[in-house]
């Protein structure tokens, strides 16, 4: 079957076509980074309007590139939540309207489930069950993925998520918004000069807390008489070392606690080079299997939503083409 995937949960418009047997046939993504950068964060109303401007042209271009007629699409999967209400409404209304017009199935997808399944877009695919480290701007979670639709959150963020901490630290260093990728690049030029706290590193639990780390960076920046590029790089290095040490240790701890041998890393922070290197080293030392999505599928994208839709095709449903978005939707409530 051919499944069209639509993602509009925040500030990226993503569409993709997935074949249930052949895999991903194509995808397109439009990012609103430039639109929101001058405001230092995502403006929900502007995000919604931009999704309206780009979603139909993106679908049309994708169909053209894949040489597929819209009439050949057999199901449409779309992000129903969580996310920004207005942004979700754009994708949901387009998806349900198209599905109704074509007389095909529509499949609402949980945004985080898309991220959990993203590594299955790769040739090397994880098998259930596995541990997932989901790290993004809004989430830092360790999840026991038992099977499709059965998820147990065993570790969660108590305050700032990892991606949020990266972006806020980047702003403290004058790197602009979003600054996570810029901070990681700057950290590559840094060296060990400063020691920053590693929150909850030695706790018995699997929860995360990064607000204190962000505050420590704030005080360190204020201490500097002259915040040179070299000092900025060293602070970025110290911050990245701290946050990745915590993420990796908790992940390995989760694998041992749950008695599992497979782990996937997904979400925007999952693209971080230092995090990937440390995870690989620890997993190889402990003989754990590790899986990453391609860098292009770490951020929000339509491919992961189309894949999730393909995996949910066999779940019974009653179609009436009505919909309601879920800005707040717990993964365990799917």
Check residue 127 and give its pLDDT: 97
Check residue 246 and give its pLDDT: 97
Question: Are both 2-117+297-333 and 127-292 of the same fold?
Answer: yes
The ranges assigned to domains in the chain are 2-117+297-333, 127-292
Check residue 318 and give its pLDDT: 77
**How big is the chain, counted in residues?**
334
Tell me the pLDDT of the chain averaged across its residues: 96
CA separation (Å) from 224 to 172, 196, 208, 219, 291?
12, 15, 28, 9, 40
Check residue 226 and give its pLDDT: 94
Check residue 179 and give its pLDDT: 86
Which CATH superfamily hosts domain 127-292?
ATPase, nucleotide binding domain (3.30.420.40)
CATH of domain 2-117+297-333: 3.30.420.40
Residues of the chain with pLDDT under 50: none
Which pTM was predicted? Answer: 0.95
Check residue 162 and give its pLDDT: 93
């Amino acid at each position: 079957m051919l499944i069209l995937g639509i993602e509009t949960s925040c500030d990226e418009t993503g569409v993709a076509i997935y074949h249930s047997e052949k895999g991903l046939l194509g995808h397109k993504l439009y990012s609103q980074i430039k639109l929101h950068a001058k405001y230092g964060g995502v403006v929900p109303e502007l995000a919604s309007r931009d999704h309206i401007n780009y979603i139909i042209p993106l679908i049309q271009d994708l169909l053209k590139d894949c040489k597929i007629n819209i009439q050949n699409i057999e199901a449409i999967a779309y992000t129903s939540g969580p996310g920004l209400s207005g942004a979700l409404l754009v994708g949901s209304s387009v998806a349900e309207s198209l599905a109704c017009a074509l007389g095909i199935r529509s499949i609402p997808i949980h945004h985080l489930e898309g991220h959990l399944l993203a590594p299955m877009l790769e040739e090397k695919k994880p098998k259930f069950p596995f541990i997932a480290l989901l790290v993004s701007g809004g989430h830092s979670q360790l999840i026991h993925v038992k099977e499709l639709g059965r998820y147990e959150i065993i570790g969660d963020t108590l305050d700032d998520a990892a991606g949020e901490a990266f972006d806020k630290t980047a702003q403290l260093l004058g790197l602009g918004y979003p600054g996570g990728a810029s901070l990681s690049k700057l950290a590559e030029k840094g060296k060990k000069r400063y020691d920053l706290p590693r929150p909850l590193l030695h706790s018995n639990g699997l929860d995360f807390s990064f607000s204190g780390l962000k505050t420590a960076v704030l005080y360190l920046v204020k201490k500097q008489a002259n915040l040179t590029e070299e000092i900025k790089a060293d602070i970025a290095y110290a911050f990245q070392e701290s946050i990745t040490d915590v993420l990796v240790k908790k992940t390995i701890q989760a694998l041992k606690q749950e008695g599992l041998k497979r782990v996937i890393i997904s979400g925007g922070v999952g693209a971080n080079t230092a995090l990937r290197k440390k995870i690989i080293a620890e997993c190889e030392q402990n003989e754990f299997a590790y899986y990453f999505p391609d860098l292009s599928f770490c951020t929000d994208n339509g491919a992961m939503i189309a894949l999730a839709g393909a995996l949910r095709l066999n779940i019974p449903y009653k179609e009436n083409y009505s919909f309601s978005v879920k800005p707040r939707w717990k993964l365990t409530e799917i």
